Amino acid sequence: MKKQSTIDEFFKRKHTISTQDSEKPPEIVLDEDSPTPNVPNTDNRFKKLHLEINEIDLNKLERDPGLRTQIYDYLVNERDTIRRAYINLGPFQHTLSVYPISGQETHKNSFQASWFKLYHSLEYSESLDDAFCFPCFLFNKPSGMGHYGQQTFTIEGFQNWKKVGGKSCAFLHHIGTECTSFHNIAQKSCDDLLNDAQDIRNVFEIFTEEECKNNRLRLKATIYAVRWCAFQGVAYRGHDEGSDSINKGNCR
């Protein structure tokens, strides 16, 4: 008769560790010549992070659009502070007596200082001889693609001066005619950032103590209702949730 196989023949049994040995942590013996183990120090990491935040001097921010750091390269918690500092400084509209001439030999052009009066958010970089957009720089994202001139007026710089003016003006195309254009959204974000009444901290402060208690009561009632429905295995909503329905569901 063939011997019946057991499960131990298919799996290798691991060596058991006695309870006495498991209670004692393994001792690590280091020789004098052995290198120190590379253990990450979280305290030093947070100290470095705090140091980077304090190193930002708002009074010494780079103004030239061609040389300044992009907003998304700063720490997340410091971006709004940097944005407010730049907004208080305003667009960098450096006026020169004579601007460099560039373009093709047959059609050379240069930047015009009069454009600052027509386009208030326009900036000029003397180091690159390029034009930039101030609000778009403040709220540009590293993955922001698809909007007309977004990367051109924030990172690369615009220098095709022959396309300025007329119906096909590059500045007007960048601004856009719809409120959903990237430029108009960025401009609205600048206005909202300076509106202290919309700050979430101020919004919470205007709540009275009675309103806070009522909100907590509603939240507790909702949590109890959701837990009861989950425990009983019943649906949260009903088959008919119309305005005339007398039974809109268990959480209505």
Q: Give the C-alpha distances (Å, rounded to integers) separating 214 from 125, 193, 223, 249.
A: 55, 30, 14, 23
Domain span at residue 165 reads 88-198
Indicate whether 73 belongs to any domain.
no
Do 164 and 111 lie in one domain? The reply is yes
Task: Report the distance separating Cα 168 and Cα 166, nearest Å.
Answer: 5
Nearest CA to 65 out of 8, 18, 26, 121 is that of 121
Indicate whether 112 belongs to any domain.
yes
Indicate whether 68 belongs to any domain.
no
Number of domains in the chain: 2
CB count within 10 Å of CB 52 equals 12
Do 214 and 149 lie in one domain? The reply is no
| pLDDT at residue 62 in the model | 93
Do 191 and 231 lie in one domain? The reply is no
Last residue of a domain, one of 157, 177, 198: 198
Do 144 and 167 lie in one domain? The reply is yes
Q: Please, are residues 123 and 92 in contact by the beta-carbon 8 Å criterion?
A: yes
Per-residue pLDDT tens for 221-239?
889 888 988 888 888 777 7
The overall pTM is greater than 0.85? no
Angle, alpha carbons 162-170-74 (nearest 5°): 120
Last residue of a domain, one of 175, 198, 221: 198
**What percent of the chain is modeled with pLDDT above 70?**
70
Do 192 and 213 lie in one domain? The reply is no
Indicate whether 223 belongs to any domain.
yes
Per-residue pLDDT tens for 18-47?
545 545 555 545 455 545 445 445 455 444
Do 156 and 227 lie in one domain? The reply is no
| pLDDT at residue 252 in the model | 66
| pLDDT at residue 141 in the model | 84
- What single DSSP character describes residue 61? -
Do 113 and 157 lie in one domain? The reply is yes
Per-residue pLDDT tens for 87-103?
999 999 989 999 999 87
Do 217 and 169 lie in one domain? The reply is no
Q: In this predicted model, which residue has the larger pLDDT, 178 or 248?
A: 178
Indicate whether 146 belongs to any domain.
yes
Indicate whether 7 belongs to any domain.
no
Do 230 and 177 lie in one domain? The reply is no
Do 133 and 174 lie in one domain? The reply is yes
| pLDDT at residue 23 in the model | 52
Indicate whether 44 belongs to any domain.
no
Do 130 and 189 lie in one domain? The reply is yes
| pLDDT at residue 213 in the model | 86
Among 9-13, 113-117, 133-137, the least confident range: 9-13
Q: In this predicted model, which residue has the larger pLDDT, 177 or 133?
A: 133
Torsion-angle region of residue 157: left (phi > 0), alpha (psi -120 to 50) or beta? left
Do 124 and 171 lie in one domain? The reply is yes
Ranges of H-type helices in the chain: 19-23, 42-54, 79-89, 115-118, 134-138, 170-175, 182-194, 200-205, 209-232
Per-residue pLDDT tens for 167-224?
889 999 999 888 888 999 999 999 988 887 666 666 666 667 788 888 899 999 889 8
- What are the tokens at 190? 């600048």
Q: Please, are residues 132 and 123 in contact by the beta-carbon 8 Å criterion?
A: yes
Indicate whether 60 belongs to any domain.
no
Q: Which residues of 221-250 are buried (b: 16+ CB within 10 A; e: fewer)?
A: eeeeeeeebeeeeeeeeeeeeeeeeeeeee
